[in-house]
Structure 1
Amino acid sequence: MCHYPKEYIAQCPFSQLLLTWRLGPGKRRIHIGTLELAPEGDISFSYNCEGLEQAKEYGFSHYTGLPLEEPIDGARALELFLRRVINTKRNDAARLLSFWGITEEMFSNKLYLLGATSGRMHSDEFEFLPVLRQMDKPYNFITDIAGIKYYDLEHSEVKDGSPLKYELERQSSYDKYAVKVMDEQGHTLGYIKQGINRIFYQVDPNLSVIKRSSSYSTSKVYIQITVPAKGSHEVLLPQSK
């Protein structure tokens, strides 16, 4: 366990970051560990034993610098994880981070940057997926849709700014918080990523496309999740929207 400034934790719209890993692009992400944030400023990291066993079947061993056979030093874990955050002194930092809705006033809060960008790097297949929470004011969170290559993107006319629908799949055998994403015509596009999807079982967010991109080998749809403020729509009754 280690300590982080309480004022920085209060700025984070998430209570946990789920450390996930996958064998490669297009493969299912496996939850292998959890970074816990306490309002008082305490932060701890622990491996998820069930996820580790699944990941080991695909050759995973441990996060670099955090071997399984040694006690986890919370300060060491956080220091390693925050290395994934972009250097905000780069000349292009403001431009790159603006895509994720991050303003320069948040640059000093590296933990916030880790969650807002999911800590993704081109050099590995780790991703930190936030368990979102309601804040005093509504906010937007940006992510991409998971599993998109398996569904109907080629038949969909979604474009930047298109509103989206979603449906809760409470009986999913893969994730008890599964949330399916669809365009307005009902074409399934994919799913909300694990961790991020839990907020949909607590409140009623709005979804829209902010960027659709395609290349020779991959297609992505980045979406904006608008989470209402505390006290708004706290009980979610319908199964779909």
Structure 2
Amino acid sequence: MTKRPFVLWLIWQNTETRQRYHIGNLSSLDGEFTFAYELSGKRRTLLEAMKNGYRPHLAFRDIHKVYKSNRLFDAFARRLPDKRRPDFKELLQSYGLSNNYTEMDLLRATGGRLATDPYEFVAPIYRYDNHFDFDFYVAGWRYYEGENALNALKVGDDVTFELDEMNPKDKKAVVVLTTQSGYKLGYVPAFYSGFMHDVMKNNGTYSAKVESVHPDAKPQQKVNISVVGESDITEYQGAGFDIMERFEMV
């Protein structure tokens, strides 16, 4: 059976509107790296991003090409922390990584963020049969009640989602709330929320918990939420919904 590749979504943010889009997929399998733009779906993917100001990365100019390499593409490798920095081991520990980490592990942990551009890497929605799972950092943290709840939040705490269909910026917006106190922490990021909206509207089931809490991190990386669930949705016009249906499980 074909092995499951390690997949990350490449996200681009419009710096004026602050809207984020899933524009491509980076995968690694048996020492080969692959990058391709996300052309499927109608919501928050490449074509919508291009209508809102995005231009293809200079290292990947052809949006229809599947790029392959036997090492991590230079455009992405330069986003990793320098292994020569004196605090590199401490940095790995801060991300929960061992000395046996891979470049994809580190790219996922750090997001590959640079201060000089609006790109980042995030984990995809994994889906196989009726099961799905994904994790995300709460979006819009600085604008809501997250700081009021932060000291009381613990790893493993349940959170709940609520649809916000009257949201003027996103009709498929999904709010993240603490279960006990009802604090509004923020939102599910838009490149995931279309999927989660459709799951909730179609009687899917889910469980969402606090995966990690980082009080001293930047607002967009304060709290990570993990989600697992089941849904019978067979069609979804969203960002890479079928990512796991493209590959057989190990």
TM-score, structure 2 as length reference: 0.62
Q: Distance in 2 between matches of 1:130 and 1:181?
A: 18
Deviation at 1:206, TM superposition (A): 2.5
Residues 179 and 191 in structure 1, CA contact (< 8 A), matched pair in contact too: yes
The reply on whether 1:18 has 2:9 as its aligned counterpart is yes
Q: Distance in 1 between matches of 2:81 and 2:108?
A: 12
Q: Distance in 1 between matches of 2:51 and 2:71?
A: 24
CA distance 1:47–1:132, change in 2 (3 Å): closer
Question: Aligned letter for 1:91?
Answer: P
Q: Distance in 1 between matches of 2:164 and 2:12?
A: 24
Deviation at 1:128, TM superposition (A): 1.0
Specify the alignment match of 2:25 in structure 1. 34
The reply on whether 1:61 has 2:64 as its aligned counterpart is no
Q: 1:181 aligns with which of 169, 176, 187?
A: 176
Residues 36 and 45 in structure 1, CA contact (< 8 A), matched pair in contact too: yes
Q: 2:69 aligns with which of 63, 68, 75?
A: 75
Question: Aligned letter for 1:151?
Answer: Y
Specify the alignment match of 1:48 in structure 2. 38
Question: Aligned letter for 2:12?
Answer: W
Deviation at 1:67, TM superposition (A): 0.9
Q: Distance in 2 between matches of 1:31 and 1:172?
A: 23
Deviation at 1:102, TM superposition (A): 1.8
Q: 1:121 aligns with which of 101, 107, 114?
A: 114
The reply on whether 1:191 has 2:181 as its aligned counterpart is no
SS at match of 1:74: strand
| 1:15-50 deviation line (CA, Å, top 9, x unaligned) | 421111112287121111122445x66543211245
Question: Aligned letter for 1:111?
Answer: M
The percentage of aligned residue pairs carrying the same residue is 23
Question: Aligned letter for 1:157?
Answer: A
How many equivalent pairs are there?
Answer: 208
Deviation at 1:171, TM superposition (A): 7.5
Q: Distance in 1 between matches of 2:124 and 2:98?
A: 21
Q: Distance in 2 between matches of 1:31 and 1:120?
A: 15
Deviation at 1:142, TM superposition (A): 8.2
CA distance 1:102–1:27, change in 2 (3 Å): same
Q: How does 1:1-241 map to 2 (within 5 A)?
A: 15-24=6-15, 27-37=18-28, 43-49=33-39, 51-68=45-62, 71-75=65-69, 78-79=72-73, 80-106=75-101, 109-131=102-124, 144-153=137-146, 156-159=148-151, 161-162=153-154, 163-167=157-161, 169=163, 174=170, 180-183=175-178, 184-193=180-189, 204-207=207-210, 210-213=213-216, 219-220=219-220, 222-225=222-225, 235=230
Q: Distance in 1 between matches of 2:35 and 2:181?
A: 42
Deviation at 1:151, TM superposition (A): 2.7
| 1:200-229 deviation line (CA, Å, top 9, x unaligned) | 978635315522348xxx7445224467xx
| 1:33-73 deviation line (CA, Å, top 9, x unaligned) | 122445x6654321124533322344321113111368443
Q: Distance in 1 between matches of 2:25 and 2:46?
A: 12
After superposition, the CA RMSD in angstroms is 4.2
Q: Distance in 2 between matches of 1:219 and 1:69?
A: 32
CA distance 1:104–1:26, change in 2 (3 Å): farther
Q: Distance in 2 between matches of 1:226 and 1:69?
A: 31
CA distance 1:65–1:46, change in 2 (3 Å): same
SS at match of 2:123: strand
> Which protein has greater RCO, CA pairs closer than 8 Å, 6+ apart?
2
Q: Distance in 1 between matches of 2:189 and 2:93?
A: 21
Q: Distance in 2 between matches of 1:125 and 1:145?
A: 18
